C-alpha cells in the first residue's frame, strides 16, 4: 500500500450516526376525566391533624346545599375517617364488577374504611396502596356529579402521585392551621400540586380562633397567620377561616356534618361562602 493511500486513509473522518431527538414524555399525559363527573376537587393539607377531613366533608355538604350533585371519595387509606363522619358502617354494593358508592344526605360516599373493620390497622406498602387507588378510579360507578371531593391523606406520597397520574384534577384546596409548623408542610403540598399541573384554588384556615362562649371575644389558640400568608404566597384566595368550635367536633363524631345539622350556625355560613367561591372559581 502506498504512502498516499495511507495518508488518505489516515485523514478520513469517522461519520457518527445522527442521534434522533427523543421528545420527553409528559408524565401527566394520561390524565383522564372520571365518567359523569364535571369537576374533581382534591382537599389536601400536607400535614395531619389540621381537620382536613372535617373541612372536606363540610365543603361537600355546602356544595350540596347550594344545589350541586356531590360525591366524596376518601383516599386516606391509612386513616380513613369518612365512615364515622357521615355515619356509614357497611361496605358498598358491587354490581357488574363496579363499586356502587353509598348514598346518604343526598350525596354519594366511598372510602376504604367501608371495606375494613374500624379497629383493623392497614399495613400496606406503597404499590398496594397505588393499586387500590387505581381500582377506586377504574371500578367505581359514580352517578352524574357536579363535584367529586377527594379527601387526601397527609403528605405527598403514593396516593397523591397515583391520583394525578390517573385522573384530571380540576383544582386543590389546601387546609392549614394558623401556626408556622402546619404552614411549612402545607407549602410542600401546595408546591407539589403546582409541579403536577393541578391549580391550587384557595386556602382554608381551620382552627383559626376560639370564640369565648361568655363574652364572644375571639381567642387565638394557635398563634400565626398561616392561611393568609400561604394565600399571598400562592396568589390565591383565603376561602375561609373556620373557628375552633366544640359543635364541629361533636357533629363529626356523630356522623352528621355540621352544615347539615346546624343550618344557621356561623360555621355553616362560612362553609357555604367557601362552596360558592369554589363554584365561582371553576365556572370562570
pLDDT value for 281 = 93
Partners of 141 in the β-ladder:
none
pLDDT per residue as tens digits for the range 176-185: 988 877 778 8
3-state secondary structure of 175: strand
Sign of the CA dihedral running 162, 168, 174, 180: positive
Q: Which fold has domain 37-282?
A: Rossmann fold (3.40.50)
Q: How far apart are CA 161 and CA 184, in angstroms?
A: 20
Residue 276 and residue 66 in contact, taking contact as beta carbons nearer than 8 Å = yes
CA-based nearest residue to 177, from 144, 235, 114, 221: 221
User: What residues does each domain of the chain span?
Assistant: 37-282
In terms of Cβ atoms closer than 10 Å to its own Cβ (0-12, 13-18, 19+), residue 7 is: exposed
- Of 32, 132, 31, 131, the C-alpha closest to 74 is 132
pLDDT digits (tens, 9 = 90+) for 55-108: 999 999 999 999 999 999 999 888 889 999 999 989 999 999 999 999 999 999
Quote the CA–CA distance of 43 and 115 in Å, as a whole number: 22
What is the band of 10 on the pLDDT scale with cuts at 50, 70, 90? very low
pTM, full prediction: 0.85
Calculate helix-pair angle for 226-234, 180-195, nearest 10 degrees. Answer: 30
Return the sign of the alpha-carbon dihedral for residues 268, 185, 149, 113. Answer: negative
Q: What percent of the chain has pLDDT over 90?
A: 51
Q: Taking 50 as the threshold, does the pLDDT of residue 8 lie above it? A: no
pLDDT per position as a tens digit, 137-152: 999 999 899 999 999 9
Cell numbers found for residue 82: 369518612
Q: Which helix (H) or strand (E) element contains residue 172?
A: strand 171-176
| Burial label, 163 (beta-carbon count in 10 A; 0-12, 13-18, 19+) | buried
Q: What pLDDT, on a 0 to 100 scale, did the predictor assign at position 6?
A: 44
| DSSP tag of 76 | -
Cα dihedral value 109, 115, 121, 124, nearest 10:
-90
Using alpha carbons, select from 204, 207, 206, 208 the residue that is nearest to residue 174: 204
Q: How far is CA 186 from the centre of its chain?
A: 12
State the CB neighbour count (10 A cutoff) for residue 19: 6
Amino acid at each position: 500500500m502506498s504512502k498516499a493511500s495511507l495518508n488518505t486513509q489516515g485523514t478520513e473522518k469517522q461519520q457518527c450516526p445522527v442521534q434522533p431527538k427523543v421528545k420527553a414524555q409528559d408524565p401527566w399525559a394520561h390524565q383522564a376525566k372520571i365518567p359523569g363527573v364535571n369537576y374533581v376537587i382534591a382537599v389536601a393539607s400536607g400535614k395531619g391533624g389540621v381537620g382536613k377531613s372535617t373541612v372536606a366533608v363540610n365543603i361537600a355538604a355546602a356544595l350540596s346545599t347550594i344545589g350541586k350533585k356531590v360525591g366524596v371519595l376518601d383516599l386516606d387509606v391509612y386513616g380513613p375517617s369518612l365512615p364515622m363522619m357521615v355515619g356509614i358502617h357497611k361496605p358498598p354494593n358491587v354490581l357488574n364488577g363496579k363499586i356502587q358508592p353509598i348514598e346518604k344526605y343526598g350525596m354519594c360516599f366511598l372510602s376504604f374504611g367501608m371495606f375494613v373493620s374500624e379497629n383493623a390497622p392497614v399495613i400496606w406498602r406503597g404499590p398496594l396502596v397505588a393499586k387500590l387507588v387505581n381500582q377506586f378510579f377504574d371500578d367505581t360507578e359514580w352517578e352524574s356529579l357536579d363535584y367529586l371531593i377527594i379527601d387526601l391523606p397527609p403528605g405527598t406520597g403514593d396516593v397523591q402521585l397515583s391520583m394525578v397520574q390517573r385522573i384530571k384534577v380540576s383544582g386543590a384546596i389546601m387546609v392549614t392551621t394558623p401556626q408556622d409548623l402546619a404552614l411549612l408542610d402545607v407549602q410542600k403540598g401546595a408546591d407539589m400540586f403546582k409541579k403536577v399541573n393541578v391549580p391550587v384554588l384557595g386556602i382554608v384556615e381551620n382552627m383559626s380562633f376560639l370564640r369565648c362562649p361568655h363574652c364572644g371575644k375571639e381567642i387565638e389558640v394557635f398563634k400565626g397567620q398561616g392561611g393568609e400568608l400561604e394565600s399571598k404566597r400562592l396568589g390565591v384566595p383565603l376561602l375561609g377561616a373556620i373557628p375552633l368550635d366544640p359543635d364541629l367536633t361533636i357533629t363529626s363524631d356523630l356522623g352528621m356534618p355540621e352544615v347539615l345539622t346546624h343550618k344557621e350556625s356561623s360555621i355553616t355560613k362560612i362553609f357555604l361562602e367557601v362552596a360558592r367561591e369554589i363554584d365561582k372559581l371553576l365556572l370562570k
